[in-house]
Amino acid sequence: MAQAKKKIVKGEALVNAVDSAISVLSSIADNTAQSLVIVDKDNKKFSKEAKRLSKKKAVLAKKKKNASAKAKKSPIADNKKALKAIEKELNSIIKDAAKILALKTATLDELNTLKSVAKRTTAYNKSLVAIDKVLNKPKAKKKKAKKPAMASNVSSIGSKAA
């Protein structure tokens, strides 16, 4: 049975493949850096919003405590309405905080993934630059072989030994 011939890939095609892979890696590094900036900005925004809602929640909890104590002392309609309004606002703050927490968690996961990709691509790019420097170094000129020592030097060595 005849064996099928293996295709030989031309050198120029291989050079083009290597060059395109290097350019793709550098474009990935650029895109990752841009995405990192955007996602980091979003993460900071969500953190700031979560902190703001947390403070507001603490203030409303304190107000609710005072309003409920006041409503217990004198259960008039105005005190009950104030307590209901505070409870309603507190519940809306709690819902908003839960939404922000979910967004913040998703953004933080994305940020961590982007950071690891950025770290890998910069490491690969640095190693490729170092390898290119080594591979593209000009060839060193070979030194000429030294001429053999003169006969006068040979006789002097022989006389020292004697």
Amino acid (one-letter) located at 11: G
Tokens 């203030």: give the residue: 59
pLDDT tens by residue, the chain, 162 residues: 567 777 887 888 888 999 999 999 999 999 999 999 999 999 999 999 999 999 999 999 999 999 999 888 988 999 899 999 999 999 999 999 999 999 999 999 999 999 999 999 999 999 998 998 888 888 777 777 777 766 555 555 555 554
Query: So what's the pLDDT on residue 40?
Result: 95
Place of tokens 């004198």: 74
- Residue spans of the domains in the chain: they are 16-123
The per-residue pLDDT for 1 is 56
Alpha carbon distances (Å) from 112 to 30, 44, 106, 117, 121:
17, 14, 10, 9, 14
- Are residues 40 and 111 in contact, defined by beta-carbon separation less than 8 angstroms? yes
CATH T-level fold of 16-123: Helix Hairpins (1.10.287)
| pLDDT score for 162 | 46
Dihedral of alpha carbons 82, 85, 91, 92, sign: negative
